[in-house]
Structure 1
Amino acid sequence: MLKTSWTDPGVVPRGIDSDPPVDPPPERDLTSASFYPLQNLPRQKEVQIGNCTVRLKYCDTCKIYRPPRCSHCRQCDNCVEDEDHHCIWLNNCIGRRNYRYFLIFVTTASVYAFLTSALSLTHLLVLYHDRKDAVENPNSVSFQNDALAKAPVSALLMIYALIMGLAVGSLATYHFWLATKNRTTHEQLTSSMMRPHIVDNPFDRGSILGNCAAVLCRPPTRSYIRRRDYTVA
C-alpha cells in the first residue's frame, strides 16, 4: 500500500511543447450564432504503433503532446503515463510506474480479508463443538448462545472481512482481467463507449500470457521527477 501510494505513477514533465505548431481556424459559419472567437488549435501529431496510427492529444495545462496511453488527471493536475485511474483511498494516481504494486496490494488485501473471515468462522465453530462435547445433552447447545454470544468480535469480524474481501476481490479480478487484455481502465471505458467503431488495441500482444507479462513483468521506468533539484517560483 505504501509503495503504491508513495511511488511516482509516471508524471510527464511540463512545458516540453510550450509553443506547438497550430492550424489556421476554420471558416466561420455565418448562419450559426457564435459569440466566441475562433482560436488556432494545436496541430495534431500521429505516431505509428504496429499497424495502427495513434493520434497524440495536446494538453493545454501541461503544454505537452501526451504520449500514447497518457491521460491528464484532474485530481493530481498532471499528465501520467499509462494512467489507469486516480485512487482516492491511496491519494495517488495508478499509472505505469506503480500499477504492478497496486495489483499486488489489492490481491493480498483480498486474500487477507478472506483468510480473516475463514479463521473467524473457524473460531466460532470450534467454540460451538467444544461446548457440545463438554455437556451431557448436546441438543441443548445452540450456536447463537454458545458461540456467537461468547465471541461477538469474531462474528462481526467474519462479516466485515467477508464484505471487504468481496469488494476488494472484485476490484482485483477486474484489473487482472484488464491485464490479460493489456488495457487500462481509460482505454476499456473508451472501448465500451465507442463500440463498434473502436479500432483494435495496438498494445495487445495476442495472448493472455504475453499481455500479463507485458503488464506485470516489464522493467520499471525511471522517474522524471527530480526530488532534490531546486524549484523556480
Structure 2
Amino acid sequence: MDSDNEKPRKKKRRPHWIVRGLGPSFTACMGFVISVLYITFPCAWLATHVSVAYPVASAMLLTGTLVTFLVSSFMDPGILHQGPPWPGTAEVAYVIVNGQRYDMDWCSRCEIYLPPAAWHCRRCNACVDRFDHHCEWLNNCVGRRNYRVFLLFLLLLTSYLLLVLSSSLFYLFLTLLTLHQPFSLPHATTVVVMVTSLACVVLVLVILISNIKLISNGEPSSTIEPYFEPDDKNPFDQGCWKNWTHVLCSPTGPRYTTSLIQTGIWGL
C-alpha cells in the first residue's frame, strides 16, 4: 500500500483539565482538612497549656510545604524542544557520559534524540530532561529543573506530618491519661487526624527514601531503564558526596536544553 493512502496517526489527546486537576485538588483538600482539624483541637490546646512553639513550628512547616507544592506543580520540569533543532537528518546521535559513548533514543512523537535519562511523558505529551516520573498529585512531571524543589517538598511534608502525628499523640496522652478527661469530640477528631497523618507519612517516607537511595547511588531516574548494563559500572555514579552535590548545587538548567543535543556531549 502506498504511503499516500495511509491514514495519518491521530495524536493522543491529553485528559481534560478537570481530570488532570483531580490529583492536586485532592492533595490540597486533604492537607487543608487535616491542618484545620489539627490546629483547631490538639494544636490549640497544646499552645494554651504547654507551649506556643507548637503552632509556630506547624505554621512554618505548613507554609514551606504549601510553597514547594505550588512551585513543583507549576515549574517547568525541563521540557525539551519539539522538532529537530537542525535541518535534515542528524549525523551525530550519541552522547558521552564520563568518557563512555551512548547512542541516543529517537522520540517519534517529538522528533528529537533524547539525552540520557530523558523520556517522553504520555500524560504531558512532551519529552522531559532527566525525567523521574509524572506525579499525579502535582499534575506535573518531576524532571531536571524541579527535582530539587520536589525533594524539598517531600522533606517538608514528611516533617509536617511527623509533627502533626507526634503532637496529636502527645495531646491524647496528656488529656486522657494524665488529666483523665472523658473521651469527647476533640479526642475523636484527633484520632482521625492521627490515622490519616500516619497513612500519608508512610507513603511519603517510602518515596523520600527511594529518592535518597537513587541520589546516593547516582541513578539518573527511578522510572526509566538505566543506560548501562547491570554488570557495568554506573557512569552516572561519582560517589555519594559528589552525587548529592551535583543534585543540590548544580545549575537548574535552561528551559529548553537543545544545546545538550546539538553538541552530543552530556558532561556531569
Give the TM-score normalised by the residue count of structure 2: 0.64
Q: 1:195 to 1:51 in 2, by over 3 A?
A: closer
The answer to whether 1:11 aligns with 2:79 is: yes
- Report the 3-state secondary structure (helix = DSSP H, G, I; strand = E; otherwise coil) of the residue aligned with 1:146: coil
- Report the 3-state secondary structure (helix = DSSP H, G, I; strand = E; otherwise coil) of the residue aligned with 1:53: strand
Residue type of the alignment partner of 1:170: V
Deviation track 1:98-154 (CA, whole Å, cap 9, x = no partner) reads 00011111111111111101111111111123434xxxxxxxxxxxx8346651011
2:223 equivalent among 151, 164, 186 = 186
- Report the 3-state secondary structure (helix = DSSP H, G, I; strand = E; otherwise coil) of the residue aligned with 2:223: helix
Q: Structure 1 CA distance, aligned partners of 2:93 and 2:81?
A: 18
Bigger radius of gyration among the two: 1
Segments of structure 2 that go 5 or more residues without pairing to the other structure are 1-68, 258-268
1:40 aligned partner = none
1:200 equivalent among 226, 233, 251 = 233
Give the superposition deviation at 1:5: 0.6
Q: Structure 1 CA distance, aligned partners of 2:100 and 2:187?
A: 61
Segments of structure 1 that go 5 or more residues without pairing to the other structure are 22-42, 133-144, 226-233
2:89 equivalent among 10, 14, 20 = 20
Give the superposition deviation at 1:173: 0.9
User: Is the Cα contact below 8 Å between 1:181 and 1:204 reproduced in 2?
Assistant: yes
Residue type of the alignment partner of 2:242: G
1:106 aligned partner = 154
- Report the 3-state secondary structure (helix = DSSP H, G, I; strand = E; otherwise coil) of the residue aligned with 1:160: helix
The answer to whether 1:48 aligns with 2:85 is: no
Q: 1:114 to 1:148 in 2, by over 3 A?
A: farther
Give the superposition deviation at 1:17: 5.0
Deviation track 1:184-204 (CA, whole Å, cap 9, x = no partner) reads 1135xx25xx8645x332221
The answer to whether 1:177 aligns with 2:245 is: no
Give the superposition deviation at 1:82: 0.3
Q: What RMSD, in angstroms, separates the aligned Cα atoms of the two structures?
A: 2.4
Q: Structure 1 CA distance, aligned partners of 2:212 and 2:119?
A: 21
Q: Structure 1 CA distance, aligned partners of 2:70 and 2:157?
A: 13
Q: 1:19 to 1:152 in 2, by over 3 A?
A: same
Q: 1:13 to 1:212 in 2, by over 3 A?
A: same
User: Is the Cα contact below 8 Å between 2:95 and 2:115 reproduced in 1?
Assistant: no
Q: 1:195 to 1:55 in 2, by over 3 A?
A: closer
Q: Structure 2 CA distance, aligned partners of 1:196 and 1:202?
A: 12
Q: Structure 1 CA distance, aligned partners of 2:186 and 2:255?
A: 53
User: Is the Cα contact below 8 Å between 1:7 and 1:98 reproduced in 2?
Assistant: yes
Q: Structure 1 CA distance, aligned partners of 2:142 and 2:78?
A: 9
Identity of aligned residues (%): 31
- Report the 3-state secondary structure (helix = DSSP H, G, I; strand = E; otherwise coil) of the residue aligned with 2:76: coil
User: Is the Cα contact below 8 Å between 1:5 and 1:92 reproduced in 2?
Assistant: yes
The answer to whether 1:210 aligns with 2:246 is: no
Q: Relative contact order, CA 8 A, sep 6+: which one is greater?
A: 2
2:12 aligned partner = none
How many residues end up aligned between the 2 structures?
Answer: 187
Q: Structure 1 CA distance, aligned partners of 2:108 and 2:89?
A: 10
User: Is the Cα contact below 8 Å between 1:69 and 1:81 reproduced in 2?
Assistant: yes
Q: When you count helix as a share of all residues, which structure comes out higher?
A: 2
